[in-house]
């Protein structure tokens, strides 16, 4: 492993150059500049083979997903991404794999304008850890803790696609419609961090989180941090045509509530900010769906379908 420096050899030449990076890859540490009036937001996520992605996932997709899940956390904080660091654990030095992986990483880095500023490689089971850093104006970071009863709950995009995509990838579910199949697999392998929504929500949302573990699990973090409850109307959950046309409605609901890996944003908005929200989303050309509201019933998540209580079976969805 020590014969050559993987980070320098495979990643340095491909890295984009941001003006706020004074010293990048190649020294003992990176030196960077934070813009005036901005706070630094840092987040880390690890993707472990066999746990967070299937072992046969193309390295290009693994790289892009590793970046996306980290940028999704920055989006949930209302931050604008700037830099990433990479820690790679590899069973062997497979140059073809590294070539494809570093190409995928570079494409995403260019697209999101983030610079790889450092990294490290060790020998071990395949695992990718990325640390992402970004900026948010002082006092404007979106958090989980400032929501209040009465606030409306919204989600971006559609839910449940990645969950069904995983079952398709695992051959637990077979689809005849190849267009739907490739859409759902793409939603699993190439999630979209909702960065523009995140930054647009600064000073508008009372709380925000990204949906990585499933709506039911993730909204509970907001309920706990903000000491609230919530009523969610499952018939309002945004679902793609691919999901709705591929499984029964009750299954589609299960995927949407609990499958996770969607990397959409869930956020809350007070009554006073709702008008402002609509203008902001329209100006940014992004869509979010109203799915319910917060209540004073601390810690309680109430699901309703057609205005009746909805019995949610948490075992409806199984991960790996």
Q: In what order do the strands lie in the sheet with 308-309?
A: 205-210, 265-269, 152-156, 288-295, 229-233, 301-305, 308-309
Comparison of 53 and 101: residue with beta carbon closer to Mg ion: 53
Comparison of 73 and 261: residue with beta carbon closer to Mg ion: 73
CB of 83 to Mg ion, least distance (A): 18
CB of 76 to Mg ion, least distance (A): 5
- Strand-pair category, 115-123 with 80-90: parallel
Comparison of 80 and 210: residue with beta carbon closer to Mg ion: 210
Q: Which of 21, 25, 73, 80 binds Mg ion (CB under 5 A)?
A: 73
Comparison of 210 and 261: residue with beta carbon closer to Mg ion: 210
Q: Which of 80, 210, 254, 261 binds Mg ion (CB under 5 A)?
A: 210
Contact 67, 112 (CB under 8 A): yes
What residues have CB less than 8 Å from 179, skipping those under 6 apart?
242
Stretch that binds Mg ion, among 12-20, 23-31, 65-73, 239-247 (CB under 5 A): 65-73
Site string (156-195) toward Mg ion, x via CB under 5 A:
----------------------------------------
CB of 210 to Mg ion, least distance (A): 4
Comparison of 25 and 77: residue with beta carbon closer to Mg ion: 77
Stretch that binds Mg ion, among 24-32, 72-80, 120-128, 199-207 (CB under 5 A): 72-80
Number of residues written out for the chain: 320
CB of 70 to Mg ion, least distance (A): 9
What residues have CB less than 8 Å from 273, skipping those under 6 apart?
204, 205, 206
Stretch that binds Mg ion, among 118-126, 156-164, 206-214, 308-316 (CB under 5 A): 206-214
Contact 291, 265 (CB under 8 A): no
User: What's the N-to-C CA distance of the chain in angstroms?
Assistant: 31
Secondary structure E strands in the chain = 21-23, 31-32, 38-48, 80-90, 115-123, 127-137, 152-156, 205-210, 229-233, 265-269, 288-295, 301-305, 308-309
Q: Which of 12, 84, 104 is nearest to 44 (CA)?
A: 84
Stretch that binds Mg ion, among 80-88, 208-216, 220-228, 304-312 (CB under 5 A): 208-216
Site string (12-31) toward Mg ion, x via CB under 5 A:
--------------------
What are φ and ψ of residue 186, in 5° steps? -65, -35
* Per CB under 5 A, 261 contacts Mg ion: no
Comparison of 210 and 262: residue with beta carbon closer to Mg ion: 210
Residues in touch with Mg ion (CB under 5 A): 73, 210
């Amino acid at each position: 492993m020590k014969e050559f420096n993987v980070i320098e050899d495979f990643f340095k030449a491909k890295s984009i150059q941001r003006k706020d990076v004074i010293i990048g890859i190649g020294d003992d540490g990176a030196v960077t500049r934070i813009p005036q009036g901005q706070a630094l937001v840092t987040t880390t996520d690890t993707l472990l083979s066999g746990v967070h992605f299937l072992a046969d996932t193309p390295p290009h997709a693994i790289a892009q997903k590793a970046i996306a899940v980290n940028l999704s956390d920055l989006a949930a904080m209302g931050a604008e991404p700037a830099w990433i660091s990479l820690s790679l654990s590899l069973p062997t030095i497979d140059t073809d794999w590294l070539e494809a992986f570093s190409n995928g990483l570079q494409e995403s880095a260019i697209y999101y304008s983030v610079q790889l500023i450092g990294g490290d490689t060790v020998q071990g089971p395949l695992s990718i850890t990325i640390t992402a850093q970004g900026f948010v104006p002082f006092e404007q970071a979106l958090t989980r803790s400032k929501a209040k009863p009465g606030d409306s709950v919204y989600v971006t995009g559609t839910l449940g696609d990645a969950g069904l995509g995983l079952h398709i990838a695992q051959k637990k579910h077979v689809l005849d419609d190849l267009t739907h199949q490739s859409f759902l697999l793409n939603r699993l392998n190439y999630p979209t961090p909702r960065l523009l929504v995140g930054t647009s929500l600064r000073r508008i949302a009372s709380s925000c989180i990204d949906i990585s573990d499933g709506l039911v699990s993730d909204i509970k973090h907001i309920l706990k941090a903000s000491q609230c409850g919530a009523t969610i109307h499952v018939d309002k959950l945004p679902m793609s045509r691919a999901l709705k046309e591929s499984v029964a409605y009750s299954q589609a609901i299960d995927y949407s509530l609990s499958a996770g890996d969607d990397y959409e944003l869930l956020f809350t908005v007070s009554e006073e900010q709702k008008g402002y929200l609509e203008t902001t989303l329209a100006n940014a050309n992004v869509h979010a769906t109203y799915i319910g509201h917060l209540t004073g019933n601390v810690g309680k998540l109430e699901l309703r379908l057609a205005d009746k209580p909805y019995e949610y079976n948490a075992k409806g969805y199984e991960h790996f």
